[in-house]
Amino acid sequence: MANEKFTKEMVDDYADKLLIGLTEEENQMVLEEFHIIDKNIDLINEIPNIKDVQPMTHALDNFECDFREDVVEESIPIEDLLKNCDETDGDEVEVPRMVG
Per-residue model confidence as pLDDT tens digits over 1-45: 445 788 999 999 999 999 898 999 999 999 999 999 999 999 999
Determine the 3-state secondary structure of 53 from DSSP. Answer: coil
User: What residue spans of the chain are helical by DSSP H?
Assistant: 8-17, 24-45, 78-82
Question: What pLDDT, on a 0 to 100 scale, did the predictor assign at position 3?
Answer: 55
16 to 7, 11, 21, 29, 78: CA distances (angstroms): 14, 9, 6, 16, 37
Give 43-66 pLDDT, tens digit per residue: 999 999 998 988 887 788 777 888
> How many angstroms separate the most distant Cα atoms in the chain?
63
pTM exceeds cut of 0.85 = no
Determine the 3-state secondary structure of 93 from DSSP. Answer: strand
Give 54-97 pLDDT, tens digit per residue: 888 778 877 788 888 999 999 999 999 999 999 999 999 998 88
